[in-house]
């Protein structure tokens, strides 16, 4: 089974008028800046990991259009249930760069006290929910949170991100089924980047289309070109508005490609051919959007270089600010397990406070 791919940005650089979100020049440039920024962040973080300054990183290179296009469609009141590759969405939803960088270092500036490995951030004030390493566990949680809003008559939407691998899990099917039954204001955003670490999407599903699965749960599925920032923005916006208006959930499959490794612990040359990577490189979402902006007269070489340099500088500054913070204090280890610390953790805290207890 296949499903038609929604594409706004045509090969000739023009935009399908039926899908054109009608953004003005400044907004288009803003989206481009964010895509360039995300790539610069990736490059810096990967270098930090290679230099041993952080332990781990999960890159989003190749998926900038999905990240920025969908993240830009969100309203401030919307909730985000991210996966560990959605730093672009988090940044667009207001998550401060300094917080993101501090979380990579897990030091005293990290609002989550160095509890989780990099790429597992959260921010209650911005409705960005804590990331889990097991995939798709956040999907039924997003349904519950959406149910709560619906019950109170609130008009927020709840977007949950996951990958093609996540679509194989029990939690994916459970969440789709619950959302369909309860008609909750959810948007399920699958970044189909073709691989779950080393295993191709053909081993995740026999349907050929993840979006097509929505039909089995009684709601809309949209298959969108995930390297087309305008199309991703448009379909996400439509899905969020549908959700907010009581129209029920949508499953979006953004067809894209993870250009780099799954994580800094992964070597994709073991399972992908150079030809395949090269073929996708030609569909680079940043370059594709750049050529569109050039055709509109919104971008030239000098401006593009300025944007890239500004992005690198902003990331560099944030790293410099965050890296030198002291480590988390040892006794913080036993905090936040419960609202109030029980006796057994108080005992363990006392041990951590002893000079010899470290």
Partner 1 sequence: MATMTFVQAIHDALAVEMERDPRVVLLGEDIGKNGGVFRATEGLWARFGPARVIDTPLAEAGIVGMAIGMALNGLRPVAEIQFADFIYPAFDQIVSELAKFRYRSAGQFPAPVVVRTPSGGGIKGGHYHSQSPEAYFIHTAGLKVAMPSTPADGKGMLAAAMRDPDPVIFLEPKALYRTVKGDVPEGDFVVPLGKARSVRSGEDVSLITYGATVHVAEEAAAIAAEEGIGVDVIDLRTLWPLDIDAVVQSVELTGRAVVLHEAPRTCGFGAELAALIQEKAFLHLKAPVQRVTGFDTPFPYALEKLYIPDARRVLDAVRAAMNF
Interacting residues with partner 1 (CB under 8 A):
79, 111-113, 115-116, 120, 122-124, 129-130, 132, 134, 137, 139-149, 151-152, 170-171, 174-175, 177-178, 181, 335-339, 342-344
- Contact, 70 vs 159, CB < 8 A? yes
Closest approach of Cβ 308 to partner 1, in Å?
34
271 included as an active-site residue: yes
If the CB atoms of residues 145 and 190 are measured against partner 1, the closer one turns out to be 145
Residue at token pair 């599903």: 205
Instruction: Give the nearest distance from C-beta 21 to partner 1 in angstroms.
Output: 29
Q: Strands of 61-219 (E only): list them.
A: 79-81, 158-163, 186-192, 195-196, 199-200
Which residue's CB is nearer to partner 1, number 141 or number 205?
Answer: 141
Of residues 37, 27, 88, 25, the one with CA closest to residue 306: 37
Kindly name the residue from 29, 108, 173, 271 that is annotated as catalytic.
271
344 belongs to the catalytic site: no
Catalytic residue, chosen from 127, 262, 272, 292, is: 262
Can you tell me whether residue 61 is helix, strand or coil?
coil
d(CA 123, CA 332): 19
Q: Which is nearer to partner 1, 173 or 283 (CB)?
A: 173
Instruction: Check: CB of residue 74 under 8 Å from CB of residue 56.
Output: no
CB of 158 to partner 1, least distance (A): 8
352: left (phi over 0), alpha (psi -120 to 50) or beta: alpha
* Rounded least distance, CB 111 to partner 1, Å: 6
Helices and strands (H and E) in the chain: how many: 12, 8
Catalytic status, residue 262: yes
Q: What's the rounded Cα separation, in Å, for the pair 150 and 157?
A: 9
Cα distance between residue 252 and residue 54, in whole Å: 33
SS3 content of the chain, % helix, strand, coil (to 5): 50, 10, 40
Question: At its nearest, how many Å lie between partner 1 and the CB of residue 351?
Answer: 13
Catalytic residues: 258, 262, 271
């Amino acid at each position: 089974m296949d499903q038609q791919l929604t594409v706004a940005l045509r090969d000739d650089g023009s935009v399908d008028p039926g899908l054109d979100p009608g953004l003005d020049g400044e907004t288009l440039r803003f989206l481009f800046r964010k895509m360039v920024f995300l790539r610069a962040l990736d490059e810096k973080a990967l270098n930090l990991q290679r230099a041993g300054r952080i332990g781990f990183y999960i890159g989003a290179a190749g998926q900038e259009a999905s990240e920025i296009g969908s993240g830009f469609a969100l309203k401030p009141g919307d909730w985000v249930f991210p996966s560990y590759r959605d730093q672009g969405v988090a940044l667009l939803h207001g998550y401060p760069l300094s917080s993101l960088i501090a979380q990579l270092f897990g030091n005293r500036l990290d609002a989550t006290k160095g509890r989780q490995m990099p790429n597992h951030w959260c921010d209650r004030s911005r409705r960005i929910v804590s990331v889990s390493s097991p995939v798709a566990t956040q999907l039924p949680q997003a349904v519950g949170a959406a149910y709560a809003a619906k019950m109170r008559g609130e008009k927020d939407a709840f977007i949950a991100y996951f990958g093609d691998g996540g679509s194989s899990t029990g939690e994916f099917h459970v969440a789709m089924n619950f959302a369909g039954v309860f008609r909750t204001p959810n948007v399920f955003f699958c970044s189909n980047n073709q691989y779950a670490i080393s295993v191709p999407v053909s081993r995740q599903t026999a349907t050929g289309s993840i979006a097509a699965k929505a039909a089995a749960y009684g709601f809309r599925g949209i298959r969108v070109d995930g390297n087309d920032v305008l199309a991703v923005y448009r379909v996400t916006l439509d899905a969020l508005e549908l959700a907010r208006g009581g129209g029920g959930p949508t499953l979006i499959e953004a067809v894209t490609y993870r250009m780099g490794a799954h994580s800094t612990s992964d070597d994709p040359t073991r399972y992908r051919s150079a030809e395949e990577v090269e073929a996708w490189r030609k569909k680079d979402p940043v370059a594709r959007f750049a050529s569109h902006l050039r055709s509109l007269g919104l971008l030239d070489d000098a401006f593009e270089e300025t944007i890239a340099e500004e992005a690198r500088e902003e990331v560099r500054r944030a790293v410099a600010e965050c890296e030198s913070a002291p480590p988390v204090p040892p006794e913080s280890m036993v905090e936040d397990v419960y609202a109030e610390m029980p006796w057994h953790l108080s005992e363990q805290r006392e041990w951590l406070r002893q000079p010899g207890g470290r």
